Each structure stands twice: as structure tokens, then as C-alpha cells.
Structure 1
């Protein structure tokens, strides 16, 4: 099945680097794609990008997705030339063995390897040990002197992976949250002469505490906030149905809660009503743990009503994050339909 959307742009978004606080490369792509679709665009001192389409009323809406991906910062280069790192975002160190990485230096990118010793050379304690990010060593294939000349403390590291179509899914690194950035960009292209003013926000530093969205919650005075992020799809062997959270291929997910937010019931009802009117597949998300930019706007936006759309994704925070093409399309369709039909008289007051 061939997706109806621009897979080349999605590939560029997911493969471009941008760890928390250093979203420069991905920010350039977002600005390039968003600027032709909006009336004005700005970047704040944290690096958030906001593109605005002016509406015919005083009502303002923000839709947001974060630009940053989980990664690392160099903390030390050993005398033998191995690089040690500090985590930027939530990593399970078990997934890091035998991965290829990119070390971003002032003089250019370097490829490195997180090696894994042959299991038959390890003793029982080593085999049973739970790895930590602090235990990671990146092999640059360079001697110690050269490595220390090329790599400095504070350089950034991202995992290296291409984005591919696998069956009916898109898989790669940084679908969290670039696939939702993609959805916002695609929705912006469809919006023409809205009644309400719409701010399309690409936020920073979500992976280290939804910091960019919190800042925008102060800076933007909106009547409605909708955040987009990926969510857990544990619909794989080893999980009971009650622990799946969402299912790939069942549609976009309307979030009711996670550990950071309980979304506005009237916003949820509106999302459901539009989905049903437009024949867009959707599912309900009740996420036991984790948080998104939604909480930033709810807590710091002056009691703004919030809602959230999520794209079900398997294998989160790995280089094989996977989302179903139908769910991506459903998310774009629902977001665009909601924005196109939002009216000034719509009330979400409880």
C-alpha cells in the first residue's frame, strides 16, 4: 500500500537531527515548510517556532508538536578515544547495544559505534547486569589523540537510522515526534481562510520536561490548545490486550489522560464528533504513564481548554519506532477538519 502523503518530507523530518536544546537543523526544515503556508512566522528565545494563520474572529487556537528527539551529550573522551555520554531524554540503555550513532562536532559529523562484546567472552555477572547510559562507550574507530582533537565535551550525539516503509508501517528513529510535526505541516497546507486564528507551534525540549510548551503557554493567549504526540502501541506479543493502550491501524487516538494531563471532556467530545461526521477512524487513548506538550498548555496557559491527538506507535524511544500509514493519514484528516470547522462561538467551559 502506497501512502497518500509526502513520504520524502516525513523521511527528511525523521532523519534530521535535533536533540533537546539544540533543535537547529530540524527547526530549519520546519521553518522552510511552514513559512509558505502561514501569514507570519516567528521563533522565540528558546527556539520554539510559531506559524500563524490569521482568522476572521478574536478566537485563537494553538496546535503543537515537539521538534526534539532523545539523544546524548558528550561528557568525556577517554585517552583511548572512546566517547562517554550523558542522556538527553529517556533512554532504556538495553536498546543501545550494537547501534550506530552520529557525533555532531564543530568540524562535521562523525559516525560512531556503540559496541557489544561477544557474549561468549562475558562472565555470568556481566551477562546478567542491567546496562546504564553511563556504561555506554562510543567507538569512533580513531586513536585516542585524534578522537580527543575531533570531539569535545558538549558535542551532541544522535542514533543513526534511515526511515523506511515496512509493510503498512513507517519505521525509523525520531517518529517521536517528527511524525506529528509532519501532521501539523500537512494540516497547515489544507487550511484556507479559517474563522479562528491558528498558531502552528513546533516546540523544543519536550523530552526533558515539556519546557518549550510551558514557555508558549505563557506567551500565547489562546482559547484552545491541541497537542500532537505519538503514544504507546503495545499490540505486540508479550502484552495483554488491556495493556496495548492503542492498536496500529485503528485510527488516530484521542487522548483522555496520561500521567501529566487529563484533557478537557468537551474538547474530547468535539474531536469525536468531527471524526464521526467525517468518517475518520479514531480510538480512545488512556495512557498510564508519560506526558506530552498538552500538559504545558494546560498548566501554564491560564486554564486554557486542552485536547490531544496521538499517533499510535510501536517500539517508542528506539530506532525502530513504527506507525501505521492509515493512522498518520487519519490524524492529519481529523486535525485539519477540526481546525477548518472551529468557530468563535464554540465553548469548552465546564
Structure 2
């Protein structure tokens, strides 16, 4: 495991549909050990080990993060945006934003009417994204020259490491892309064909994973994402279960997913003394797996997740103990999979 690689991956601005910066970081690391590394026209990056003509074990972690897209630049040079993915607009207020402008990035701040100028009724209102704007501190003519409608941006926050905890706005789901590549590294000597995919566009529909699964037609697939860390205030464990920091890999139970793959993951975790919890998903999993399992004639699938605090905020937080558990579990499972597995329900 490389913390420097993780930091570089988290620092790369990569909103849904515009993942090329993070893809380049991931591909560069993959090239240090993978036998084959390649990209497709949809923004996915693939890294493979094992025989090229063998059935594939697919490991998918999406590269994209939620972001913003410019919808209008007014005559004062203030920039208005729409959401790429699921934002709570409250967390955007006064944040710094990096805009990926064509002739160089711009950093601005999200503005809102000061409380001193609000009416009593305004103060009680919840902010909507239409109430906010981005100010990059330049004259209007310069802003209009450099920032076009369709320019995208992300929250600008440094990666912070405190002991085992890592904080960043792009944890969801750069950490999943990190886990699948590190699991691939550990599984490299297994003799199996294992393919790690850093997938695109999960936050707007898991479209990259659909493309990748149809391309690979894997024998089995594991999607890696984040789930809710359940000791944070306001989490109802009766609804989402328990997945505190340090509890290891969270394994999804869902009608969409393969019960055999889940049983085998549990058996692997118990054999290898890897901590895990179970998470109930009575319908969809809201991960890449929802699209992967429907590729071609169907793919037996599983979801392995890392507990995450403050999801879809400027300061998401994970615990590296859980990250290591996910890497170890996925690598052990992929390496021990029988040559011709039967996933019939």
C-alpha cells in the first residue's frame, strides 16, 4: 500500500464525466506492476494481471467525485453552477472551488448573501444551489474569457491525514479505485486473470461500470465503494445497520447480488481473520454493481464498502484499518477462486 499514491489520487480533480486527471494518476501507478494497462473512450481505466485469454475477475471502483458545472457567467463576473451528482447545497457555502478552465485552473469561493442583509424569513430558509455563486476575484471580462458554460469544478480542500484517519472531498469514491488497484497488486501472483477497473460516471448513473462490464464479460465482479460510518450523529442503525470505524469491510446483502459470492467472501474473511460487517440493501445498492450485474447475460456480483463519515461533503473521512481489510479480503478472495466457479442460485 502506498499512502503517497492515495494522496495523489485524492488530490486529482475528477468530477463525473471528467475523470482524466485521476485516471492518469491511477494508470501511472498501475503501470508499475500490472501486465496490461489500457483506457477506453468512456473514461474507464483497466489494469490486468494473469492470462489475457482467461475469464476475468472484475474489481470496480469508481474514479469520479461529485462536482459542479457552470451554467451562466453574469455581467459582474459571478459564476452560477448546477450540480453534478448529489449535493447538499448547505455544505457548499463559503467553500473554495477549483474550476477546470481550458487555459488553466481557477480557484474561487462560493458566495451567499451575508446574514446581515437577510430578512428574518430568509434566515430560516435552506439554501438552494441557485442561491449561490462562485467568485474567482477577477474582472468580469477576464472571467468571461476564461470560464465558459460547461466548465466543471470540484471542492478545493487539501488531503488531511490524522493517525489512521484520512479526510478529503473525493473519498467517495477515489478510495474504491485505490482499493481495487491495491487488491490487484496483492493478487498478482495468483495465476487468475484479475482486472481492476477505475470506472467513470458512477455518481450520475454508474455508466462507466456498465460499459466496462460489457467489455470484459467477467465471470464474477466486486464493486468497491463507501458506506455510511454509523457512529456519526444522526445515523439510524435500525435502518442502515452498524459499520463503525475499525469494523473492517462492509459486505452488501441485496437481491441483486450473488448469494454465493457473499458466502464465499464471508468464508474468506473468517478464514483469514479479516474483520467485516454486513449491510442490508433491500433493493439496489446504489453502486457500480447495479449496472455490472446486468451486463450481457448477467454477472454474479458483490459489493465491498469502506465506512465513510460526512459523505458528499468537503471533508469526507475514512479509517485506513477498514481500507486494509477491504484490500486483504478482495485479494484473498480473487486469489482463491476456483478455476470454473458455479454461481447458480
TM-score bucket of the superposed structures, by smaller chain: over 0.9
- The alignment partner of 1:114 has SS state of strand
Matches within 5 A, 1:101-140: 101-140=97-136
Q: Does the 8 A contact of 1:66 with 1:202 survive in 2?
A: yes
Match of 2:220 in 1: 224
More moved, 235-244 vs 46-55:
235-244
TM-score (norm 2): 0.94
Give TM-score, length-normalised by structure 1. 0.93
2:60/2:196 contact within 8 Å kept:
yes
Which residue does 1:333 correspond to in 2? 328
Match of 2:293 in 1: 298
Secondary structure of the 2:257 match is coil
Question: Contact 1:263 / 1:307 at 8 angstroms: preserved in 2?
Answer: yes
Please identify, of 315-324 and 192-201, the stretch whose mean Cα deviation from structure 2 is larger. 192-201
CA contact (8 A) 1:196 1:343 kept: no
5+ residue gaps, structure 1: none
- Measured in 2, the distance between the counterparts of 1:14 and 1:114 equals 21
CA–CA distance in structure 2, aligned partners of residues 304 and 200 of structure 1: 16
- Cα contact 1:46–1:204 (8 A) shared by 2: yes
1:285-326 CA distances to partner (integer Å, 9 max, x unpaired)?
124776010111111242210011000101110111111121
- Paired residues, number: 343
The one of 248, 251, 259 aligned to 1:251: 248
The aligned residue for residue 54 of structure 2 is: 58
Cα distance in 2 for partners of 1:26, 1:150 equals 23
2:262 corresponds to? 268
Moved more, 238-247 or 153-162: 238-247
Give the conservation status (yes or no) of the 8 Å contact 2:209–2:292. yes
1:146 aligned counterpart, secondary structure: helix
Q: Which residue matches 2:141?
A: 145
Contact 1:59 1:344 in 2 (8 A): no
Is 1:100 aligned with 2:96?
A: yes
Structure 2: stretches of 5+ with no match in the other structure: none
Q: Deviations over 1:183-231 (max 9, x none)?
A: 1221222223323211111111111101011112221121101110111
